[in-house]
Chains A and B, each alone.
Chain A
């Protein structure tokens, strides 16, 4: 070894050989990448219980011999597809829950059609979620239901729970759910009321296009897409890396449009007036104060969440009325908190240990 330079001269030929092999592999795999489609996602066996416009309710077929009494309803964020929670076997949160003996339903969204531009917050909170809860109750034969909300699905679940605070929600789990929208600083700046004319936008385009939603997410980390493509090229010889890249990239770019009226309410009530944090939120004339929620709640937040910063999510546990409440901060980002290797190691076991004893 050349001690002065700290360079292991003997390893150089091996290193060159390894790099040449990887370069060859990159060329071969690069062609394969372009020619092939990605892995099939969201393939855990399920039954579609209901499809009504943008609303889809699935029931996943149980795999355990014995299941917990209380079924789970997952409320997905309205901007993204639910298959982030059901990637591929071995990396599927849904599959994990089924194997651990939970009975799982999911409220997933499809792109609202042009005529659904008039869907309002009321439709989501007072109609879609209660309808799915009723169907889960009927299908499972149980009265109690645990609700899990991811990101804005968590906001919808909080609004639902604060209005229907006398049941049937038995437990509430929120993943990276914002409450103090002032703390979503970049989104606040994008939607600055002095310059952003939400009425003109909604009145001219109807539903907010997915490209606009996607660019607002990507603008939060503008260099990351280019950097991830460089990393993909470096690792294209590695099948596992490529599989994971394709899954997450496909999901991240598969953004949904948002119904115009619903977007108008989000902008005015939440982004501008911060009504959820200020205890001034109402939906369809019904007060939605989260201090009225008293069921056990677990809020999982991510240490490096660039979409919902911790300061935006922190007040949830402070403001909620429950006595059985816990916030858990885990390593990872907004997506890696719930899916991928990080989630398998951290969030999923934590959720199972918290929820199991509250599901009997």
Chain B
């Protein structure tokens, strides 16, 4: 009896996609392993990184002229927000610490945790 999936159009389609993916990846990997590829990609990448920087500087001047916030200013705002978030996290951590300490003796957070006495399971699956 023939394999049912060999005549299933959906299975054939899925198989074809899988094979195409493998084939293309393998072909591209071979091409990308050549020194020529590295040379071209790095030339293009280098030029584009330099151009991006120049464009960024130009845009910065333009935005200042238009009285609009620049990317650097927005990043600065984001950093301030991150810093506020960081401080909130610290306050949260301190509160948690205080909460743990209030239930534990000597201010040791470990004291309020489960005991560290666990043993690995024996062969039967239960802890030793």
Chain A interface residues toward B at CB < 8 A: 1, 3, 5-8, 15, 19, 47-51, 62, 64-69, 101, 103, 110, 113-114, 139-142, 185-186, 189-190, 192, 194-197, 200-201, 204-205, 212, 219-224, 226-227, 230-231, 234, 353, 356-357, 359-360
Contacts and interface: CB of A to CB of B under 8 A. Distances in A.
Contact of B92 (A48, A62, A65, A201): A48
B89 A65 contact: no
Contact of B37 (A189, A205, A212): A189
A255 to B, nearest CB: 17
A69 B86 CA distance: 31
Contacts of A360: 118-120
A103 B4 CA distance: 50
Contact of A62 (B14, B93, B113): B113
Interface in B106-128: 108-111, 113-121, 127
Secondary structure of the B contact surface, majority rule = helix
Nearest to B22: A223
B10 interface: yes
A197 B127 CA distance: 56
B25 A201 contact: no
A6 B14 contact: no
Contacts of A142: 110, 116
B7 interface: yes
B49 A195 contact: no
A114 B77 CA distance: 13
A201 B33 contact: no
Contacts of B120: 353, 356-357, 359-360
Given A66-B127, A67-B113, A356-B121, A189 B17 contact: no
Nearest to B85: A51
Contact of B42 (A1, A114, A196): A196
Nearest to B1: A6
Nearest to B90: A51
Contact of B3 (A3, A6, A139): A6
Nearest to A4: B2
Given A222-B24, A223-B20, A224-B21, A68 B116 contact: yes
B5 to A, nearest CB: 10
Contact of B38 (A189, A200, A234, A356): A189
Q: Which 6 A-B pairs have the closest CB atoms?
A: A6-B2, A141-B110, A356-B120, A223-B24, A227-B21, A195-B42
B98 interface: no
B33 A185 contact: yes
Interface string B6-26: 111010001001101100110
Q: Which of B35, B49, B111 has the most CB of A within 10 A?
A: B49
26 contacts: A5-B2, A48-B92, A49-B93, A50-B93, A65-B114, A66-B114, A66-B115, A66-B116, A67-B113, A69-B117, A103-B116, A113-B79, A142-B110, A186-B32, A189-B35, A192-B35, A192-B38, A192-B42, A196-B42, A205-B52, A205-B53, A226-B21, A227-B18, A231-B14, A360-B118, A360-B119
B64 interface: no
Nearest to A235: B14
A51 B32 contact: no
